[in-house]
Amino acid sequence: MAGETLQLTASVTPAGATDKSITWSSSNTSVATVDSNGKVTMLAAGDCTITAYAVNWGVPAEYVSTVVKYNWSLERQAQEFQPRAAYNITVTPARTQITGIWLTDNDCDGEIAVTQKMIPVGGTKKVALTLNSAYTNPKNAQLVWTSSDPGIATVDSSGTVTGIAKGYATITVKTQYPAEDGTYPTASTTYRVGAYTYDEILNNLTIDREASLTAHEYLNHIRTTPADRALASFRDQPAVEARIWDEGLMQLATARASRNIVCTMIGGWTSGEKSDRNSLATHGGMQNGYGGSWSTSGTILGRNAARGLTEDHAHMVNQLDSRSYVAIAFVRYSNPSGVNLTSMIVDMSPCSYAEGKQNLANAGVSFLDDMEKSILVPKEQYLDFCRHFGITAG
């Protein structure tokens, strides 16, 4: 392998020769060099001939030994002594016995990824990995680590990452030598350096309207078609009327889903607010919730999430009750480090948004005050979420 050395020896006969000086040379110094003492240094893959010859051309050089070493192939060029004796050296690249690399952090998703894939500025993290090989102790298992942006994060030769500045950096590890098929087994993962901020999360929230409308259609279908309900215990219950989509209720569903993601990312839950089962499903008294780290979107997301919601008995009871109006929000957040969060909130009401708001006004209660009590979203955040999504608040 490059940089490796090999000591060759040669002697001059007869034993009584008066001049036994030997000179060494390489036919291709870009592949290997040889010094005056016969020490060969490999530089690159390729072929070259190392020659030893007597200064006195009348005296042949004699082989003392022929050496075979890993990644070096040496053969005597001549079977009989000649005025010049040569070792033919073929240098081939070293091969690794590693067939694949897996970084443990690539298994992270959801809430785990929020902390597992974040490194504080000035903090360090040792990247855990698994090497795949048919051998217990694979030969040439040396690894090379690199960072996509050393100004954000650096990585040393042992795989320890150091956070330098706020941002994202991809850490890549590959074998120093190619596998038998000529490829270099490689793996990479992206880390966030520095703590997340409220504004950063808020400004990157998105909403999946197609998923919302698909979920609405599915939930209405199971209201009106008992035979298609996921839980068998509900199939004998009668059909109920489909619910009416009310865009005015969308602000309530969207705000609750948005807060679930913000608090999952940076904390801030109030006492008794967070769901013990699933933080992304946290909801108010007139709502149902569901959430997870889902890779799908649109129609597939809406249908799968709605079905998953109705596989829970308590949720199914709510989906068949007498409340006539509904809005469903799918709020999402993702970033380069692999964090991918979705919160689904179903907001249900016995009356329309307009009627409910009027009822509050008649009772002398502001919409925002009632909202804060019913869905547990602070007013300032509620207004932030509505502004971000362009939804009328209140």
Do 215 and 322 reside in the same domain of the chain? yes
pLDDT value at residue 94: 73
- Contact (Cβ atoms closer than 8 angstroms) between residue 286 and residue 348: yes
Exposure string (b/e) for 351-368, b if CB count within 10 Å is 16 or more? eebeebbeebeeeeeebe
Residue 72 has pLDDT above 50, yes or no: no
Q: Which tokens is 89 given?
A: 């050296």
* Residue 394 counted as domain residue: no
Write down which residue in 91, 123, 157 finishes a domain.
Answer: 91
C-alpha to C-alpha distance for 106 and 89, rounded to whole angstroms: 44
Do 204 and 132 reside in the same domain of the chain? no
- Tell how many helices (H) and how many strands (E) occur in the chain: 9, 23
Helix, strand, coil distribution of the chain in percent, nearest 5 = 30, 30, 40
pLDDT value at residue 92: 58
Over residues 360-374, the mean pLDDT reads 94
* Residue 9 counted as domain residue: yes
CATH code (residue 75): 2.60.40
> Whole domain around residue 209: which residue ranges?
199-389
Do 185 and 205 reside in the same domain of the chain? no
Residue 375 has pLDDT above 70, yes or no: yes
In the chain, which ranges are continuous DSSP H helix?
110-116, 198-203, 209-224, 250-266, 298-310, 313-319, 353-362, 367-375, 379-389
- Please write down the HEC assignment for all residues of 377-392: CCHHHHHHHHHHHCCC
Do 85 and 113 reside in the same domain of the chain? no
Write down which residue in 91, 111, 144 finishes a domain.
Answer: 91
Residue 302 has pLDDT above 70, yes or no: yes
Listed in sequence order, the residues at least 6 apart from 62 whose beta carbon sits closer than 8 Å to its beta carbon are 10, 11, 12, 13, 81, 85
- Of 216, 218, 217, 236, nearest to 226 (Cα)? 236
Do 232 and 362 reside in the same domain of the chain? yes
Residue 329 has pLDDT above 60, yes or no: yes
Over pLDDT 70: what percentage of the chain? 86
Do 105 and 81 reside in the same domain of the chain? no
Do 293 and 219 reside in the same domain of the chain? yes
With bands split at pLDDT 50, 70 and 90, how would you rate the model's confidence at 19?
low
Q: Count the domains in the chain.
A: 3
C-alpha to C-alpha distance for 160 and 128, rounded to whole angstroms: 9
* 91-113 pLDDT per residue, tens: 556 789 999 999 999 888 778 88
Do 181 and 211 reside in the same domain of the chain? no
Q: What is the DSSP letter of 69?
A: B
Over residues 75-90, the mean pLDDT reads 43
